[in-house]
Amino acid sequence: MIAPRSFADREDLLGAAMLAPALAYVLLLVGVPFALAIVLSFSNATAGSLSFGWAGFSNYAAILADPIFRRALGNTAIVTIGSQVLVVVLATAAAQVFRAAFHGKRTARFILLLPWAVPVSLAAIAWTWIFDSTFSVINWTLKVAGLLHGWLYWLGDPGLALVAIIIVQAWRIFPFATVIVLAGLASLPQDVMEAAIVDGAGFWRRLFHVELPLLLPVVAVAVLFGVVYTATDLGVVYILTGGGPANTTQVLPTLAFQRGIQGADLGQGAAIAVFLLPFLIAVAIAMLRLARHTEVGAK
């Protein structure tokens, strides 16, 4: 007698059964709210009311005409690009440091990873103190070092507040990017690096002509994550500046929250939140194509 196939032998059924929980999770907790947000952005729904009417593109027309929205859009771009440029430079540099063997490397790596593990809200609160108008650690340090003569109102000045937000966003993504670049460095073929040394290339030439081009796919992935995390982040700006002073540091997530939840205009809030979607998709596609294009000599 040949034993009949058990459930575990039926790869078709088993596969479907094992995928089901993940699929259900994505559909219910990501897909549904996402679809709802798109629908809401075309409606005149408000919080606290069950009326729901088709509003066409009027929400989009309204926000596009709104200077605060346009400013928030610009800020989102500035913060995202600024922080990611900072992250790429710092993470590549840090990865070079962590590649070397030194005493206390494990401890240093642990400390490096901390910002990644700290809850955003907690970290942002710590940063509000660092940027505080009276107690600012940065100001006092600069002052004692004799580098600062006036006084910097970090979160009170629109320009400085954006810089502060960029710093915090970069600080938050930096550990993750460093780990990714470090993994990328470890996977580079050792003898190609040695060939570059023998071929007479100095440190900078090796870095810019061999290492970084080979690392590009990996860096692209790190940047992609960074862009998505930063452009969609609510916590940092919300806690640090609340979008102020006078709506000058609003980014799209904070503005969407303010309009949609606090201001009860769900339709407009959703339109603001959804507005970013096509841009993020475009960035993701561009990054992934870049990564594939530069993969070791591919055409």
Partner 1 sequence: MAGVEIRHLSKRFGDLYAVNDVDLAIREGEFLVLLGPSGCGKTTLLRMIAGLERPTAGEILIGGERVDDAPPRARGIAMVFQSYALYPHRTVARNISFPLEAVGLPRSVIEQKVRWAAEMFSITRYLDRYPRQLSGGERQRVALCRALVRDPKVFLLDEPLANLDAKLRNTARDELKRFQRQIKRTTVYVTHDQVEALGLGDRIAVMDGGRVRQVGTPQEVYEEPVDTFVATFVGQPPMNLLAARDPALPPGTLLGFRPEHFLPRGHFAAGEPLRTFAFAVRRVEYLGSDRYVYGTVSDDVIDDATVIAKLPATVGTTIPEGERLEFAVPQRALRYFDGTTGARRL
Cis peptide leading into residue 245 (ω within 30°)? yes
Looking at beta carbons only, is 184 or 253 nearer to partner 1?
184
Handedness of CA 94, 95, 100, 103 (dihedral sign): positive
Examine residue 12 and tell whether it contacts partner 1 (CB under 8 A): no
Rounded Cα distance between 165 and 80, Å, is 10
Position of tokens 């303010």?
258
What is the C-alpha radius of gyration for the chain, rounded to an integer number of angstroms? Answer: 24
Looking at beta carbons only, is 5 or 299 nearer to partner 1?
299
Q: How far is the CB of 45 from partner 1 (least distance, A)?
A: 52
Positions 277 through 296 that interact with partner 1 (CB under 8 A): 294, 296
Q: How far is the CB of 283 from partner 1 (least distance, A)?
A: 23
Phi, psi at 200, each rounded to 5°: 90, 10
- Given a contact cutoff of 8 angstroms between Cβ atoms, the answer to whether 222 and 185 are in contact is no
- For the chain, what is the largest distance between any 2 Cα atoms, rounded to a whole number of angstroms? 92
Binding partner 1 (rule: CB under 8 A), the pick from 4, 119, 150, 297 is 297
Looking at beta carbons only, is 159 or 200 nearer to partner 1?
200
Q: How far is the CB of 182 from partner 1 (least distance, A)?
A: 20
Count of residues touching partner 1 (by CB under 8 A): 22
Q: How far is the CB of 227 from partner 1 (least distance, A)?
A: 23
Positions 160 through 219 that interact with partner 1 (CB under 8 A): 189, 191-192, 194-202, 205, 209-210, 213-214
Tell me the per-residue interface mask from 82 to 111 with partner 1, x by CB under 8 A, - otherwise: ------------------------------
DSSP β-bridge partners for residue 43: 54
Positions 119 through 148 that interact with partner 1 (CB under 8 A): none
Positions 241 through 260 that interact with partner 1 (CB under 8 A): none
Looking at beta carbons only, is 29 or 195 nearer to partner 1?
195
Looking at beta carbons only, is 70 or 205 nearer to partner 1?
205
Looking at beta carbons only, is 93 or 192 nearer to partner 1?
192
Phi-psi region of 148 (alpha: psi -120 to 50; beta: other; left: phi over 0): beta
CA-closest candidate to residue 251, choices 271, 236, 266? 236
Length of the chain: 299
Binding partner 1 (rule: CB under 8 A), the pick from 5, 103, 106, 299 is 299
Q: How far is the CB of 189 from partner 1 (least distance, A)?
A: 7
**Could you write out the DSSP letters of every residue in 52-103?**
--B-TTHHHHHHHH-HHHHHHHHHHHHHHHHHHHHHHHHHHHHHHHHHS--T
Q: What Cα–Cα distance (Å) separates residue 180 from each residue in 12, 132, 174, 203, 222?
A: 35, 33, 10, 21, 7
The token pair at 132 is: 């505080």
Looking at beta carbons only, is 130 or 212 nearer to partner 1?
212
Looking at beta carbons only, is 68 or 188 nearer to partner 1?
188
Q: How far is the CB of 192 from partner 1 (least distance, A)?
A: 5
Residues contributing to the site for partner 1 (CB under 8 A): 189, 191-192, 194-202, 205, 209-210, 213-214, 294, 296-299
